[in-house]
Amino acid sequence: MIYLGSLLLAVLGAVVRQVWHRLLKGPLVASWAWYVELRMVALRAFIVATSRGGDRSRRRALEADLDPPLPRSLRQVMKKEAATVGGIPGEWVRRGHARQEDPTILYLHGGAYLAGSPATHRRFISRLTWITRATTFAPDYRLAPDHQFPAAVDDAEAAYVGLLEMGVEPGRLVVAGDSAGGGLACALLQRLRDDGHPQPAGAVLFSPYTDLEHTAPSIRKNAATDYLPVGPVTANTFYLGDADPKHPEASPMYGDYTDVAPMLVFAGGREMILDDSVRLVEKASADGADVTLRIEDDMFHVWPALLPNHEATRRTLTAVADFVRTRV
């Protein structure tokens, strides 16, 4: 209770300070409504307060108790179900009138390989599932520091192969993910090709985390307009361990994208790891991949999951639905 109280005070304090800042100096970004700016600031305060010194144990403890309901508008038409696919625990999210011929999405959640779960992303996954008319499996892949690289890639591959063994056709399967999950999706495409497994119909990446050394100039440039914690720019050794940070399955911007599935990449123009998306797309394009980058100029990291009613989110999800409909 003491910890929760201090956490709430940290978030409330950050919000109050930002209200005064906005009243005195105007919005951080001209197009940002009050709720956009305050949501970003509150989330940054939460992440900083639960990640001191890189220790996510308290945050993980909070996340372990999360069991959020589906969005109110979807509760009567969708359902969730705990399941294991390919030996990996996770969660199915299905429409009530799902059909066998519907697309299947393998959704890989974000959290810097240190946090997050199917539950933390359930509401966004449900919206994505609904608009794409799909059925989604979100694996609860292993996290660092208890399970370091390449544990997450191993689990993603196991879940993907498990879906194939269940009868899901690769041509009706789409891999998607946000942040670390987006980077993990890139690593998965490379692993599948190298291990001789069929590629999915496509991959959708939201603000993919592709550089675990954190060398992007955008990290400092956009520090004031994103919620990722500001601090020393060092490599993510919690997940990497002793692995080479330039390993293409750890930092996928160094990967080889020859003969991989088409990719649709979304990035926010105000996010700190914007350059992770830009450099990924440049490398994939050079390798001859079918890849498209869409940048929402005034958005921060993984905005579709955090601003469900924003116009930028509606544009993004419509583009995803079009991509899935075209590919599947």
Give the residue numbers annotated as catalytic, written as ranges: 179, 271, 301
* CB-based burial, 39-52: b 16+ in 10 Å, e otherwise: bbbbbbbbbbbbbe
State the DSSP H helix or E strand holding residue 274, giving kind and residue range, or none if neither.
Answer: helix 274-286
Which among 212, 216, 215 has a CA at the least distance from the CA of 240? 212
Contact 43, 66 (CB under 8 A): no
Helix (H) or strand (E) holding 268: strand 263-268
Q: What are residue 47's phi and psi, to 5 degrees? A: -65, -45
Render 133-173 in DSSP notation, one character per residue. T-EEEEE----TTTS-TTHHHHHHHHHHHHHHHTT--GGGE
Tell me if 203 sits within 8 A of 107, measured CB to CB.
Answer: no
Q: Which two tokens stand for residue 112?
A: 């810097």
DSSP string across 108-141: E--STTTS--TTTTHHHHHHHHHHHT-EEEEE--
- Token duo for residue 192: 């599948």
φ/ψ bin of 243: left (φ > 0), alpha (ψ from -120 to 50), beta (otherwise): beta
Buried b (16+ CB within 10 A) or exposed e, 106-119: bbbbbbbbbbbbbb
The CA-based diameter of the chain, rounded to the nearest angstrom, is 59
Task: Give the separation between CA 149 and CA 156, rounded to whole angstroms.
Answer: 12
